Amino acid sequence: MLHIIDKFPIQLSFLEQMHSGDTLILKDNAVYAAKQDNIKAALTSKTFAHLNLCVSKADLAIRNISNGELIRGVAIIDSADEYQEYLAQNIVFLSCN
């Protein structure tokens, strides 16, 4: 299942309800949760380990976050076509945090 989150911080209780193999796209301010510096404040890296974690390249650029600041294993979605591909391949659940 595909989850899209746009708010930061992310509630740990929400992430605990996700299943292994789910895809999580972080957009807007939610991209801050993928920063290494914020991992302890946002959640533990173990929580992200079982998810396919993606962030928007445009959202990273707007917030001046470099790829080197991200936790290991984050996929960067760099085009609208790639984003649409994720939407087409998954059941989408827009998550309200």
The superfamily (CATH) of domain 2-6+19-94 is DsrEFH-like (3.40.1260.10)
- How far is the C-alpha of 92 from the C-alpha of 54, rounded, in Å? 14
pLDDT tens digits, 34-48? 888 876 655 555 566
Other C-beta atoms lying within 10 Å of the C-beta of residue 4: 20
pLDDT tens digits, 16-66? 788 888 888 898 999 998 888 876 655 555 566 678 889 999 999 999 999
Q: Which residues contact 78 (CB under 8 A, 6 or more apart)?
A: 57
